[in-house]
Amino acid sequence: MSSQLLTYIFVSLSFVLYIGIAIWSRANSTNEFYVAGKGVNPLANGMATAADWMSAASFISMAGLISFLGKDGAVYLMGWTGGYVLLALLLAPYLRKFGQYTVPDFIGTRYYSKTARLVAVLCLIFISFTYVAGQMRGVGIVFSRFLEVEINIGVIIGMIVVFFYAVLGGMKGITYTQVAQYCVMIFAYLVPAIFISILITGNPIPQLGFGDTLLNSSTYLLEKLDQLSVDLGFNAYTKNTKSNIDIFCITAALMFGTAGLPHVIVRFFTVPKVSDARKSAGYALVFIALLYTTAPAVAAFSRVNFIESIQEKSYVDSPNWFKNWENIGLIAWQDKNKDGLINYSAGKPFDGSRPIFSGGVGSQGEREIKNTPISDNSNEVYIDRDIMVLANPEIAKLPAWVMALVAAGGLAAALSTAAGLLLVISSSISHDLLKKTFMPKINERQELFYARCSAAVAILIAGLFGIYPPAFVAQVVAFAFGLAASTIFPALLLGIFSKRLNKEGAIAGMMAGLIFTAGYIIYFKFLFSDLDSSLNWLWGISPEGVGFLGMIINFVVAILVSSFSTKPPIEVGQMVDKIRLP
Amino acid sequence: MSPQDYWKANLKLLSILLFIWFVISFGFGILLSDFLDQFSLGGFKLGFWFAQQGSIYGFVILIFVYVFAMHRLEKKIQNKKEEK
């Protein structure tokens, strides 16, 4: 059977499963739509949280990124897992005890202010849409490479599937589909990783194989990788390239940002008891760690495989995957020294950030590119880092069904995260903006109707992002985490652990964090992107890590302003006392 | 156990666990990572292992320690309520 047919079968089967679950778990009340009736088993919620959390970026892009970053890749590994400790210890149980539906709900009630609620809604919508755009691009990549349909049609199919279970099922539908999606995703990630680990080191556990010796040799894999990297002019794989302060700040911004992401927090509103919220965060991290500890192993294996299978091979005899990915423009080769061999090394192969194909064919049969070659290095290969995980099974020559599985897994990762995000967007519109602010008179049925409408509109907008991807998607990821860390996280933490913090303090803090972080990122990423280098950064902190500074500014401003203004009302103190108890 | 004692015990537990959280990630994985790289764990340099593997295992353990410790604390405060 051809690999494309297999992929069609795997992907269709998984979609039928998701839609079936959606029909089985329809939501009939706002309580079910927003928080799945608060009846989700903590283990199931842990799985759903893991699927919600692990996006197209985690599944498709992360191992590829690490594979090119080496040790610096740890910022993502630690940053995107360490936040769960903060969630379990500092936020989830208390917010579950508070017992409302959304994150702005807590901020609005704790700081007795519609303004605070609106600031939170704005941050939430911005963060969530930023994130959705990335998921839709992931859906597009998988469809165009594996099913050879137009990216647009792929995005539309994805929209229809998400529409089904998010609009019909709300949080209840999403939760149970996410459980299924987690299973598909983790199976699809582990199977090729185990295969490749056995092929390279003989050890079936990738987490251990990664530190093991190569098959039939006494050299350690990582030693070999350091050697290969240095030979090609890169830094040693197990050494940092970024400065310690930058690594520190990026990791911190990602951790605190994770703990402040609304679509993650809201998952802990769905369990029956406060203690379940803690347990559920633990289970979620176990399920996440399964993928996150495998990813660096995949990164190292694929780096070795990638280098060994193309370096100094003639283009004519280069492996199929090289030409397949070249066909969709994510790999390009320019024979700078005219020897017909693929020479891969450190440095940019040619001008511009991506290849511009002329439509013609070069002397070896490669797709001709119009970019001017850069002559101070010998690198001839352009490769988009996003393809490493998807191309990995092909590079390692695994059977066709493994590739089909990976395609289904990538879609599961993208769709599960998109659905979770769309849900928090729709509930913050129908619940926080309409019910609690502008249309307090609507009854529950009307609210549910508006919730469904806003979910539908959000899906349409997300789809448009997928079809016309904004060029700035990569830059704005820093935004999402930076804003979550510098606005939502401090407001939640202080709301629980300080009774003195008042409305003025919280709003001033959120605004200060927002303006500082957004200003810094816009300055370096949009206005003066040619200045974006460590020489010009404040204390050597990159825009990716600046959310950590923004968070500290938020804390300082919030506490100072509070101490100079009136105490919050007594009811607020009583509410805080109540949420602190189990 | 009174609500105040419960909250104090909780805060103490939080500070200990968050201190460990900081040490295994920001400490061993970043600030002390280069120093730890002189030791090795199988084929891993120790600092590299903490940065890409060990810290994550540590996070999982920390959450479950907190779950069990809080379970015991909650029992204490609930027993007290029943005595009344």
Contact call for A289 and B56, based on CB within 8 A? yes
Q: What is the pLDDT of residue B60?
A: 92
Is A342 domain-assigned? no
Q: What is the pLDDT of residue A325?
A: 80
Unique residue bearing structure tokens 């089909």: A404
Q: Which pLDDT tens digits describe chain A residue by residue (582 residues)? A: 577 788 888 888 888 888 888 778 777 777 777 666 677 777 888 888 888 888 877 888 788 888 888 788 888 889 899 889 998 888 888 888 887 777 888 888 888 888 888 888 888 888 888 788 777 777 777 777 677 777 778 788 878 878 877 777 777 778 888 888 888 889 888 888 888 888 888 888 888 878 777 777 777 777 777 777 777 777 777 777 777 778 888 888 889 988 888 888 888 887 778 888 888 888 989 999 999 999 888 888 888 888 877 877 777 778 777 887 887 777 888 777 778 777 777 777 777 777 777 777 777 778 777 777 777 777 888 887 777 778 888 777 778 788 888 888 888 888 888 888 888 888 877 777 667 777 777 777 777 777 788 888 888 888 887 777 665 555 566 678 888 889 889 989 988 888 888 888 888 888 888 888 878 877 776 666 666 666 667 676 777 778 888 899 998 998 898 888 888 888 877 888 888 877
- Rounded to a whole number, what is the distance in angstroms from the first to the last CA of chain A? 57
Which own/partner contact pairs does A313-321 have at CB distance under 8 Å and 24+ positions apart?
Answer: A313/A341, A313/A342, A314/A340, A314/A341, A314/A342, A314/A364, A315/A340, A315/A341, A315/A342, A315/A364, A315/A365, A315/A366, A316/A340, A316/A364, A316/A365, A318/A342, A319/A394, A319/A395, A320/A394, A321/A391, A321/A394, A321/A395
Is A572 domain-assigned? yes
Strand pairing class (A381-383; B44-45): unpaired
Contact call for B62 and A85, based on CB within 8 A? yes
Q: What is the pLDDT of residue B20?
A: 92
Q: What is the C-alpha to C-alpha distance for residues A352 and A393, in angstroms, rounded to an integer?
A: 29
Instruction: Assess A578–B contact: CB distance below 8 Å, yes or no.
Output: no
Total number of domains constituting chain A: 1
3-state secondary structure at position A360: strand
Q: What is the C-alpha to C-alpha distance for residues A244 and A302, in angstroms, rounded to an integer?
A: 26
Those residues with Cβ within 8 angstroms of residue B84's Cβ, 6 or more apart along the chain or in another chain: none
- For B44-59, what is each residue's pLDDT tens digit? 778 888 888 889 999 9
B43, closest residue in chain A (CA to CA):
A211
Q: What is the pLDDT of residue A207?
A: 80
Instruction: Assess A137–B contact: CB distance below 8 Å, yes or no.
Output: no
Range of the domain at A530: 3-306+396-580
- At A358, which helix (H) or strand (E)? strand A357-361
Q: Which of A58, A80, A89 to mutate to test the interface with B (most CBs of B within 10 A)?
A: A89
Q: What is the C-alpha to C-alpha distance for residues A485 and A249, in angstroms, rounded to an integer?
A: 11
Q: What is the pLDDT of residue B19?
A: 93
3-state secondary structure at position A39: coil
Q: What is the pLDDT of residue A469?
A: 66
Grade residue B80 by pLDDT with cuts at 50, 70 and 90.
low
Burial of A307 (C-beta count, 10 Å sphere; 0-12/13-18/19+): middle
Q: What is the pLDDT of residue A478?
A: 64
> Nearest Cα to A492, choosing from A475, A513, A506, A508?
A506
Of A213, A238, A281, the CB nearest to B48: A238
Q: What is the pLDDT of residue B65?
A: 92
- For B19-75, what is each residue's pLDDT tens digit? 999 998 888 878 877 777 777 777 777 888 888 888 999 999 998 999 888 888 888
Chain A residues close to B17, C-beta within 8 Å: 85, 89
3-state secondary structure at position A269: helix
CATH number at A103 reads 1.20.1730.10
Q: What is the pLDDT of residue B83?
A: 55
**What is the separation of C-alpha B20 from the centre of its chain, rounded to a whole number of angstroms?**
5
Q: What is the pLDDT of residue A392?
A: 81
Contact call for A77 and B48, based on CB within 8 A? no
Rounded to a whole number of angstroms, the CA Rg of chain B reads 18
Q: What is the C-alpha to C-alpha distance for residues A267 and A52, in angstroms, rounded to an integer?
A: 9
Chain B residues close to A247, C-beta within 8 Å: 30
Contact call for B51 and A77, based on CB within 8 A? yes
Is A188 domain-assigned? yes
ipTM of the complex: 0.90
Tokens of A284: 């979620």
Q: What is the C-alpha to C-alpha distance for residues B73 and B66, in angstroms, rounded to an integer?
A: 10
Chain A residues close to B57, C-beta within 8 Å: 289, 293
Those residues with Cβ within 8 angstroms of residue B58's Cβ, 6 or more apart along the chain or in another chain: B20, B21, B24, B25
CA distances from A229 to A232, A235, A277 (A): 5, 6, 44
Of B51, B57, B64, the CB nearest to A282: B64
> Nearest Cα to A398, choosing from A222, A147, A190?
A190
Is A315 domain-assigned? no
Contact call for B74 and A223, based on CB within 8 A? no
Is A376 domain-assigned? no
Those residues with Cβ within 8 angstroms of residue A410's Cβ, 6 or more apart along the chain or in another chain: A56, A59, A60, A138, A141, A142, A188, A389, A390
B71, closest residue in chain A (CA to CA):
A275
Q: What is the C-alpha to C-alpha distance for residues B58 and B19, in angstroms, rounded to an integer?
A: 12
Q: Phi and psi (nearest 5°) for A377?
A: -140, 170
Residues of B near A (Cβ–Cβ under 8 Å) read 3, 6-7, 10, 14, 17-18, 21, 25-26, 29-31, 33-34, 37, 41-45, 48-49, 51-53, 55-57, 59-60, 62-64, 66-67, 70-71, 74, 77-78
Q: What is the pLDDT of residue A540?
A: 66
3-state secondary structure at position A361: strand
